[in-house]
Each structure stands twice: as structure tokens, then as C-alpha cells.
Amino acid sequence: MSDWYTSFANSGVGSTLVKQLGLPRPAVLRRYEPGQQLLPGPAVVGSAGEGRLRATLTAVLRDAGVAVLSPAAADGAGDGERPAAVVLDATGLTGPAQLAAAHDLLAPAVKRLRPTGRVLVLADPPATADSPAQAAARQALEGLVRSLAKELRAGSTANLVFVPEGAEASLASPVRFFLSGRSAYVDGQVLTLSAADVPAGEDAERPLAGKVAVVTGAARGIGASIARVMARDGAHVVAVDVPAAGESLAAVANEIGGTAFQLDITAPDAAARLVTHLRERHGGVDVVVHNAGITRDKLLVNMDAARWNGVMAVNLQAQLDLTRALLDADGVLRPGARVVCVSSQSGIAGNRGQSNYAASKAGVIGMVRAWAPEFAERGATVNAVAPGFIVTEMTATMPLGTREVGARINSLQQGGLPVDVAETIAWLSSPTAAGVNGQVVRVCGQSMLGA
Ligand SMILES: NC(=O)c1ccc[n+]([C@@H]2O[C@H](COP(=O)([O-])OP(=O)(O)OC[C@H]3O[C@@H](n4cnc5c(N)ncnc54)[C@H](O)[C@@H]3O)[C@@H](O)[C@H]2O)c1
């Protein structure tokens, strides 16, 4: 399933019509395919401030086969050398005066950026600043990046990563993600890394080789896409869904050479059954993706207890109970485990008629943040992914007007695809993403809702 308007606006007849009517023409995004180069061209790397990450950054890019241009070289380069990415190392800022250097570097480089380009800014976290002036300069970058993301066109994105002192080893994995086609629909995001034991390297094509990954709600929609991407990346997937979805669940599991496990995650014995299955059939688990979710919309004043309780049970309580049981079951959650919890833009922005759903999805974010330190102690991580408007069977049934507005009110002017959510979850599940913990990553094309 694709975003029909984007396909139409980029077709022969469609592009002429869209131009004549003055309608937006959303770009065809650069999405990851196995074997794809990290970037389709060189990257400009520059710094504003001391730039303590420059050497690490250059090494990461060179390892990935990306030519690195200095800002001056990029200025004079021919058209073939137009940058596919601009990476600004803004670490070491002492006050707002130095922000001018960020502007001086970004303005000419962004002007020459290729379509589906990437802007990535790296900085020290505001929370660890020595002075208000330093905190101001660091925080200012958030406003700069979020605005630039809104200005970029042609499928380009801009994101910001805060890198605390001591977390330099955590940098390579997010840099690769944000520059790659895996982050096609992740835009205007801000992440803070933490120090972690990061494995030296991983197979770029199969980062999940040898891992066992559980995906709930895998019979269809986003969950089926997560299962496919995880299997593509090398994992053995245990696909979980309710018995009523058994047929489609089996079809997904067969397609990817995984295991189908019928389970209602809200059943009183669900956690015990899952733990036993993972211990006995797979000897443990490396990745758990809590994707299963339901909506039961009604205005709060009209909402009955069944709607409230049903949504809470699937979307929040089951995530809490299954995760707790896995943490407590001796040896089942393997070292370096990854738990990724699906939240939602509604949990950040709120949504009319979704007080139950938004409460459950906001709860997921609270849970993830609170659990992060316990996971870090085990060398594991727990993160949330909050999808925005994703084109699925569910959104296809929305009234045309609501659907079209929902799909367009973001910086990329289009709905995301299930695979965009799946790529982000697969990245967070990978071994080298060890320094991304307790974070919420929105996959929403920088939606205006809740921004
Ligand atoms: N589609 C979107 O635009 C969007 C946006 C934000 C967040 N999300 C979230 O993404 C996730 C997947 O959404 P989707 O659009 O693919 O939904 P979907 O309805 O297509 O799929 C959800 C799956 O979860 C399963 N499920 C429901 N209750 C279950 C239970 N008790 N036990 C086991 N499995 C159960 C369903 O059978 C179904 O296969 C959900 O958590 C949803 O809230 C979706």
C-alpha cells in the first residue's frame, strides 16, 4: 500500500495537473533497500565550536564508503559533487555568539543539498551545560533544526542528536540511521544518547543475524511489516497475535521463515505462556516489540468502561506485564536485549475522541523512560516509537477529507508507510544502537500535531 497522492503527483499526467492547480507535490522518499549505499553522494562535515566529534564522524562516514567534503570544498565543487548530507558537529559551544558559525556552515551547504538529502546536527545536551549561556546555545540548536526541517523540500530531512561527554562510542549507529534510507519518514527529531558498551561492529545487511525477536500484533498492518523487516535483517521472528487472526498470522510467519504464536496478550496467563514458549522453543529472546494495539474511540463523556478498559489492557497493561515477566524470568531476556514499545503521536498531541487511546500511548512513553535505567544496568535498552499518520488498512477506511488532511500536515507532505515504522524499530533493536535508551522516536514526517 502506498500514499496514492504522492504516486499520482509524481506520475506523468499527475505532475502536470498538480502543477497547474498549484497543489503540493510530495517527493518520492529515499527508502532503504538491501545493498543500498548509505548516501547517494558525498557528505559535507563541518563544525561550530570545538567539534570534538569530528574525527569519530569522519571515520564512520569513510567506513560506510561516503566521501567527506569540507564546507569550503563543497562550495566550489561541481554539480556532480552536490552533497547528499550535511553534518554539523556543534559540540563545544560556549554561548549564543557561536551559533553564527552554525548558520554560516549550514546556509550554503543546505542550498546545494541534493533531493532526499539529510541534515544532521550533533551537539552537547543542554542539561549538562555549565552556564545558562551555554545551555541557551545548545538548546537553540533544537529550534534551528526543527525550523530547518520545515524549510527543507524534496524529501530531505533534518534531525538533532545530543551526545554527552563519554557517549562518543554510541554515535556511529544513529549517524548511520539518520543518513540512511531507513529514516526516510523520521524528520525534525531530537535524540539524546547515553554512554554504553557498544559492540565493535555489525553486519550492515543483517544486523539482527542470530537474534530471536518477538513481535506482537504481527498478523497485519505495521506489525506484519516489522516482522518482515526484522527477518530481512536476519532475526528469527516469533510472530504473536490473537487466535482469531491465526490464518493471517501463519501466513506472515511462513513468508518470513518465523514462528507463529497465537496469544491474546491480555489473557491472565499470557506472560507465563510467552516466557515458557521463549525459554523452551528458542532458549530466550533478544528483541521484544510491543506493537499490538487497538482503538475504541468515543468522546470522553460518552465513553463506557469497556472502551476505556479494553484499550488500556492491550495498549499499556500488557506491555507492562509482559516486559516485567521477561525481566524477572531468569535468563530469558538475553544480554544486550532490546525492547521497543509502539506509542503514537496521539499520546503526545492528544486527539479528539481518543482520551483512552492517547492515555494508553502516553503511558507507554512514561513506562519506557522509567524503565531505561534498569535496562541500562543489564546492558539492554528500552525505547518507544511514536508513529504519526501511517497509511494502513485502518487509515484507508477514514473519510477522504480527514484522511487527506491527516496525511499532508507534516513537513514531508505525505503519509508514512508501515515499513518506515518498521525500519526505525529494527534500527533500535540492532546491537550497535546500545547508546539509545529511554528515547521516544517519532516516525511522523515532522507532523504539526504535538510538535
Ligand atoms: N496506523 C497508524 O497510523 C498508527 C499510528 C500511530 C500508532 N499506531 C500503532 O501502531 C500499532 C499497530 O497499528 P496498526 O495500524 O498496524 O493496527 P492493526 O489494527 O492493523 O494491527 C494491530 C494488530 O494487533 C493485534 N492485536 C490486537 N489486540 C491483541 C491482543 N489482545 N493480543 C494480541 N494481538 C492483538 C490485532 O489482531 C492486529 O493484528 C498499534 O499499537 C497502533 O496503536 C498506528
Residues in the chain: 451
364-375 pLDDT, tens digit each: 999 999 999 999
Phi and psi of 204, rounded to 5°? -60, -30
pLDDT confidence of residue 76: 67
Ligand 1 neighbour 233 (Cβ under 6 A): no
Count of Cβ atoms closer than 10 Å to residue 195 Cβ? 17
Ligand 1 centre to CA of 223 (Å) is 7
40-82 pLDDT, tens digit each: 999 999 999 888 999 999 999 999 999 999 887 777 666 668 9
Q: What is the Cα–Cα distance from 66 to 87, expressed in whole angstroms?
A: 12
CATH classification of 212-443, choosing from 3.30.930.10, 3.40.50.720, 2.40.70.10, 3.40.190.10? 3.40.50.720
pLDDT confidence of residue 6: 77
Ligand 1 neighbour 291 (Cβ under 6 A): yes
Count of Cβ atoms closer than 10 Å to residue 85 Cβ? 29
74-115 pLDDT, tens digit each: 776 666 689 999 999 999 999 999 999 999 999 999 999 999
Ligand 1 centre to CA of 415 (Å) is 17
Q: What is the Cα–Cα distance from 7 to 44, expressed in whole angstroms?
A: 31
pLDDT confidence of residue 451: 78
Rounded to an integer, the average pLDDT of 11-17 is 70
pLDDT value at 17 more than 70: no
- Helices of type H across 180-258: 221-232, 246-256
Rounded to an integer, the average pLDDT of 230-243 is 98
Q: What is the Cα–Cα distance from 371 to 363, expressed in whole angstroms?
A: 12
pLDDT confidence of residue 50: 86
pLDDT confidence of residue 406: 85
For the chain, which residues make up each domain, given as ranges?
A: 37-192, 212-443
129-144 pLDDT, tens digit each: 999 999 999 999 999 9
Phi and psi of 262, rounded to 5°? -75, 120
First CA to last CA distance, the chain: 27
Ligand 1 centre to CA of 241 (Å) is 10
pLDDT value at 10 more than 80: no
Count of Cβ atoms closer than 10 Å to residue 393 Cβ? 10
The CATH topology of domain 37-192 is Rossmann fold (3.40.50)
37-192 with 212-443: one CATH topology?
A: yes
Question: In 3-state terms, the chain is what percent helix, strand and coil (to 5)?
Answer: 45, 15, 35
Q: What is the Cα–Cα distance from 345 to 341, expressed in whole angstroms?
A: 13
**pLDDT tier, 442 (very low <50, low <70, confident <90, very high otherwise):** very high
Q: What is the Cα–Cα distance from 52 to 47, expressed in whole angstroms?
A: 9
Pocket test for ligand 1, best of 1, 229, 294 (most atoms within 8 A of CB): 294
Q: Can you tell me whether residue 141 is helix, strand or coil?
A: helix
Pocket test for ligand 1, best of 226, 240, 242 (most atoms within 8 A of CB): 242
Q: What is the Cα–Cα distance from 249 to 413, expressed in whole angstroms?
A: 33
Ligand 1 centre to CA of 193 (Å) is 28
**pLDDT tier, 2 (very low <50, low <70, confident <90, very high otherwise):** low
pLDDT value at 299 more than 70: yes
**pLDDT tier, 202 (very low <50, low <70, confident <90, very high otherwise):** confident
pLDDT value at 214 more than 90: yes
What is the chain's Cα-based Rg? 22
pLDDT value at 21 more than 90: no
pLDDT value at 357 more than 80: yes
Rounded to an integer, the average pLDDT of 434-446 is 98
Ligand 1 neighbour 288 (Cβ under 6 A): no
Tell the residue nearest (CA) to atom 7 of ligand 1: 344
Ligand 1 neighbour 389 (Cβ under 6 A): yes
- Give the global pTM: 0.96
152-182 pLDDT, tens digit each: 999 999 999 999 999 999 999 999 999 999 9
Pocket test for ligand 1, best of 392, 420, 440 (most atoms within 8 A of CB): 392
Ligand 1 centre to CA of 3 (Å) is 19
Atom of ligand 1 at shortest range from CA of 267: 31
Ligand 1 neighbour 394 (Cβ under 6 A): yes
E strands of 6-154, at which residues?
43-47, 68-69, 85-89, 118-123
Whether 357 is a known active-site residue: answer yes
For 400, which DSSP code?
A: H
Rounded to an integer, the average pLDDT of 316-324 is 98
Q: What is the Cα–Cα distance from 389 to 345, expressed in whole angstroms?
A: 8
Ligand 1 neighbour 415 (Cβ under 6 A): no
C-alpha cell at 410: 507534516
C-alpha cell at 233: 535483517
Ligand 1 neighbour 223 (Cβ under 6 A): yes
Contact 83, 95 (CB under 8 A): no
pLDDT confidence of residue 78: 64
pLDDT confidence of residue 257: 98
Catalytic residue among 5, 32, 185, 357: 357
276-292 pLDDT, tens digit each: 999 999 999 999 999 99
- For residue 422, give the H/E element and its range: helix 418-429
Ligand 1 neighbour 134 (Cβ under 6 A): no
Q: Which of 391, 383, 386, 413 lies closest to 149 in space, CA to CA?
A: 413
Contact 253, 245 (CB under 8 A): no
Ligand 1 neighbour 252 (Cβ under 6 A): no
Task: Map grid coordinates 516509537 to a residue.
Answer: 385
